[in-house]
Chain A
């Protein structure tokens, strides 16, 4: 019954989406508003059908209906409900089902919010989104069918991968990631629409998609941060970024999307970089599909990889179609795009944005090259090589440092050329702040050149961005006689785009400081202890009090009681690093005990233990300023939110600026449907 429901819903969605895509294109080319209306309804219908399919799957999961193949794959009766529900996206087929839902949701939202817009962009964009949907629905009735019948029906299933049952962040990271990934399809669809309809010059596609891009970018930023946090809390190695191919895959579209957010502003103001912006957003979309391909094709071995199989070939075909189509369209149409307008001059914000794009693009290229290089080397040399963290750190640290520097230049520069006096005035304090940060870092013990430079540039850029708030508020105070707080609030509200961006910058700086500090000042101690023995690390004294264990339905948990001793020698608190032994897996999963404080984290890992509790091996790490990475990530999203919520009324998709008339194309009476 569930299977029938699921299959029918997907099949219907496939048909509806295909119809809608065709209807939209024909409708816009032949000026048939009835077809356009049908396309709109088809989009809503697709969303409703995907909702049905997803709910059906969740229902099957929660009721442990093992006659459904996906449930038989990831379900287990002893898994708590929360983890059962989120196992919707825990394995391949379910993740595609969920992706389909998010895509259908975005498509419906785009159509709904642009329902009063009768230009040519929206139908082409709708058609593109629906066409992408067609691919995913094809997967769902083909290689990634989650509703296959299982017979005979097993009594129980193996449950989700133990790594996915260990932390509630597993309920947050994938949805955020999909909201980000899939969200980036929206500006892509509008870019294709702009190219197909020929309407690039007026920048309408940029305006219509600004908020969508920003929202998707914010989700992706949060997703990457949540992934880092999960890695830190669950994998037990004390790190949060390993340059794993699939981490890179989520990072690549983020890099190009960040570049796009900036260079779009140059196009808006100066009418330049049109082809570049189109290329950037096409690249962003292709990178999201490529990222999905990497996890599902078996082409690289990774912590994240889903099962491999023929689905890789489907993705490859889809990438091929999108790549060929986009490249052909871009190169074919771009000749006709004229650039007008002028840059403000050498010492202007536009120049900084160009440099920002340069660095981000080279960054993207470097990470992409490193990720696929093993493939290239094997193809050309026949030898397997590794490209791991040392390579990526070495090649990207200069770029990251350059970005930190630019972060402190752009905000203080105006859109036209700055005068010398302005430059002196705006950069004097930040330069001093940078030097002060450098001195402070050195005094605190930083010796590594990159860390020193990073701290210095963080000081420099922090001062610039904060200085902008100060300058703007001061101007308001002078002009309107407002108090400082009022001025600040009104400033941000009336200029949300700009100041939201500065808030996001500050978030990035916080993350940079956290990452630099926790790498450069990391301390690590490993000891084997008998009960009652203590170990010290960086002023913390830990006493091993004993090992305990607990039997749970789905796993066997062993933990060590580590007492953190106060200055008087008495226990202040107890930390319990754990090892979880799942029935379905050979290897145990660690859960480190993390004690988070604003200035540093104390991170304990239970490495090994004697079965009789006579000794344990504990690894203790002290990592400064780690919480600021997570806080910084949230601030980045907040900044994006501020920027999203502001803007002129006319910017809001579907809403009209006051007094704006809308020309509605009427179907001549008597036209047959």
Chain B
């Protein structure tokens, strides 16, 4: 029994084990987004008729509301883009906090938009109304072009744009009040996004994939 060779053999196992140990320490489903730090892709999307359900535009009977919204880099506003869907169970939890933040910071230059992802207009409207309505417009994204522009992996995902029109933060999973306060507050004050603060996800949020063959938009009873 050659103990020298035996020890060498044992040593050979070390890099393999180190690699596997490293693998245990990270989440294979957490994908970094290349967007934070870059100018936000601009878009022009149609407004979902019937939203917002309250606030200045709704009060006027919706007649003054623009039919479509164009994202402009030079608007000087802080913008929150929230991708949602009526069939998305987790989106329910974040609807309230988003609405609260939208109303609270409206005067300071915050604009919130909800973007419906793979949803039918009627379904999205019904869902919004069922949640108690909202003071910010929901936009329609046919063909998911904008969702793809923003590198969407699923819903809900929320993008925080700074006053210069750059994507400052991306959050995967439902947003919650503390997160909104921190992020929006920082952006309204004009603070730059921290180096590593670009993309975050909700604690315990598992990005589930669709099972192949699942089409969420049609036929859900």
Contact = CB atoms under 8 A, between A and B. Distances in A.
B7 A590 contact: no
B208 to A, nearest CB: 8
A610 interface: yes
B13 to A, nearest CB: 4
Interface stretch (B23-31, B60-68, B166-174, B184-192): B23-31
6 shortest interchain CB distances as A-B pairs: A332-B6, A590-B213, A327-B9, A331-B9, A587-B214, A236-B213
Contact of A609 (B9, B22, B208, B218): B218
Contacts of B87: 586
Given A331-B5, A383-B32, A579-B213, 7 more contacts: A298-B24, A332-B3, A333-B1, A334-B5, A585-B211, A587-B211, A608-B217
B16 interface: yes
B221 interface: yes
B218 A611 contact: yes
Interface centre among A324, A581, A589 (most CB of B within 10 A): A324
B212 A163 contact: no
Contact of B221 (A163, A323, A581, A586): A581
Contacts, number: 124
A611 B12 CA distance: 60
Given A299-B24, A319-B20, A590-B213, A329 B6 contact: yes
B216 A586 contact: yes
A329 B13 CA distance: 13
B212 to A, nearest CB: 5
Nearest to A588: B214
A312 interface: yes
Q: Is chain B's binding surface mostly helix, strand, loop or mixed?
A: loop
Contacts of B215: 588, 607-608
Contact of B19 (A237, A372, A585, A605): A372
Contact of B26 (A313, A378, A611): A378
B23 A375 contact: yes
A300 B28 contact: yes
A50 B22 CA distance: 34
- Please tell me the size bucket of the interface on B: 35 or more
A439 interface: no
Given A298-B28, A301-B28, A335-B2, A316 B213 contact: no
A147 to B, nearest CB: 26
A609 B28 CA distance: 34
Contacts of B220: 581, 588
Interface in A356-402: 372, 374-376, 378-379, 383-384
Contact of A236 (B6, B212, B218, B221): B212
Given A323-B17, A611-B221, A316 B7 contact: no
A328 interface: yes
Interface string A495-507: 0000000000000
B177 to A, nearest CB: 25
Contact of B10 (A163, A328, A379, A585): A328
Nearest to B87: A586
Most buried by A among B2, B6, B213, B220: B213
A556 interface: yes
A474 B7 CA distance: 56
7 contacts: A300-B28, A329-B6, A329-B9, A331-B6, A332-B3, A372-B19, A611-B221
Interface in B94-116: none
A58 B89 CA distance: 34
A328 B24 contact: no
A501 to B, nearest CB: 33
Contacts of A301: 28-29
Given A298-B28, A316-B17, A587 B9 contact: no
Interface centre among A293, A588, A610 (most CB of B within 10 A): A588
Interface in B54-73: none
Interface in B149-191: none
Contacts of A581: 220-221
Given A299-B24, A588-B214, A608 B219 contact: yes
Interface in A538-559: 549, 556, 558
A297 interface: yes
B19 A375 contact: yes
B8 interface: yes
Contact of A375 (B13, B22, B31): B22
B21 interface: yes
Contact of B17 (A300, A312, A320, A332): A320
A279 to B, nearest CB: 11
Contacts of A379: 19, 22-23
A299 B214 CA distance: 25
A300 B31 CA distance: 13
Contacts of A605: 213
Interface string A292-312: 010001111100000000001
A327 B10 contact: yes
A200 to B, nearest CB: 13
B210 interface: yes
Contact of B218 (A312, A327, A608): A608
Given A298-B24, A300-B28, A301-B29, A579 B219 contact: yes
A218 interface: no
Contact of B212 (A235, A316, A328, A330): A235
A374 B215 CA distance: 29
A323 B9 CA distance: 9
Contacts of B24: 297-299, 312-313, 316
A585 B216 CA distance: 12
A331 B28 contact: no
A299 B25 CA distance: 8
Nearest to A236: B213
A323 B6 contact: no
B141 to A, nearest CB: 18
Nearest to A372: B19
Given A375-B22, A608-B219, A332 B1 contact: yes
